[in-house]
Structure 1
Amino acid sequence: MRAGIKPETVIAVAADIADRNGWEQITLANVAGQLGIKTPSLYNHVDGLPDLRQKVATYAAELLRDLLNDAAIGQSGKEALIGVGKSYVAFVRSHPGLYDAINRIPEPKPARFEQASETILRLFGRLMQPLGIPQEESVHAIRGLRSMVHGFASLESMGGFQMPEDLFDSLSKSITYYIDGLSAKT
């Protein structure tokens, strides 16, 4: 194997391929080609394509977790949820292949992936606590907010918003309407 290739380099190259060319283009041959090595040399770092894709998805989930946590720092209430929503959409804009990796990770999901996903859910839950939503309703409220932000990001990535109004203004207003509606129910 060529000197200097580390496991994190393999994941970074695969992540770049995903973002530039799409999730399906993460193949052992494509990654090896980008690294300038023969495909069998990748087996020093991964146990095949499913393992490589799991590692990329884990990297993606941890990156998203960190970005969302950073967006929430120093904010509370509606502002925090809007900031997290904007960071979520910005992540999808910057890393479409990595976002796809999060949503299409092969089973079984690695523990680190599950931990990152759980941390994201806990963040949404913590940010929604001040709204006074009863505990038994919080899962539904979090799912609704996540669906809204995911749908927004997905529609934008498909070119679904053609009107000239600022997209982040639309996202902020949508989250505000959702939060205000939830707050009125409590």
Structure 2
Amino acid sequence: MSVEQLGQALTVAAAGRVGSEAIQDIATAYIDFVRQHPGLYEASFHAPDRDEPQLAAASTVALQLLLDSLQPYGLSEADALHAVRGLRSLCHGFASIGAQGGFAMNFEPSASLHFTISSFLDGLKQRSKDS
């Protein structure tokens, strides 16, 4: 199942860690999965059908991994879910642009990904300080 494979790739990338390093590695693994398995990714992209227990369980594993990785940021439950959506959107957008050849400049895409994720995480840190 494509969702399980993506979840497994993200779990391996996090390797039991949380926080910025884990999230950077999760984002990289996400992009790599899309590059290596575009058809599988496309099949896993939609929201899970809650009437399919195996699919719902696989999606829950990936969601929980991301929530656990964001735990050091001290976000409320709602904010953590918003952050997961944001992170997923960043990764999806980055992967989609890359797949369409949108990063043709002589500039390393992995450095751009790291910069983007770092900026996103810096925003989460500031948000938790402001709360």
User: Is 1:167 paired with 2:109?
Assistant: yes
Larger radius of gyration: 1
Query: 2:66 matched to 1:66?
Result: no
The sequence identity of aligned pairs, in percent, is 38
Q: What is aligned with 1:91?
A: 33
- 8 Å contact kept, 2:49–2:56: no
- 1:1-24: CA deviations, max 9, x gaps? xxxxxxxxxxxxxxxxxxxxxxxx
Q: Secondary structure at the match of 1:113?
A: helix
Q: How big is each residue's C-alpha offset from its partner over 1:137-171, in whole Å with a ceiling of 9 and x where there is no partner?
A: 11111111111011111111111111121111111
Matches within 5 A, 1:15-94: 59-94=1-36
Closer/same/farther in 2, CA of residues 81 and 108 from structure 1, 3 Å limit: closer
Q: Do structure 1's residue 178 and structure 2's residue 98 form an aligned pair?
A: no
Give the TM-score normalised by the residue count of structure 2.
Answer: 0.90
Is 1:124 the counterpart of 2:71? The answer is no
Select the residue among 87, 94, 99 that pairs with 1:152.
94
Q: Please, what TM-score do these two structures have when normalized by structure 1?
A: 0.64
SS at match of 1:182: helix
| SS of structure 2 residue aligned to 1:162 | coil
Distance 1:61 1:183, change over 3 A: same
Q: Which runs of 5+ in 2 are unaligned?
A: none
**CA shift in 2, pair 1:163/1:183, >3 Å:** same
Deviations 1:84-137 (A, max 9, x none): 000000000000000011125896762211111111111110000101112231
Q: Which moved more, 1:148-157 or 1:135-144?
A: 135-144
1:100 to 39, 42, 47: 42
Measured after TM superposition, the shift of residue 74 of structure 1 is 4.7
| Count of paired positions | 128
Tell me the distance in 2 between the aligned counterparts of 1:168 and 1:106: 29
- Whole-angstrom CA distance in 2 between matches of 1:145 and 1:105: 15
Match for 1:178: what amino acid? F
Q: Which has the higher contact order (CA 8 A, sep 6+)?
A: 2
Q: Cα RMSD between the aligned structures?
A: 1.8
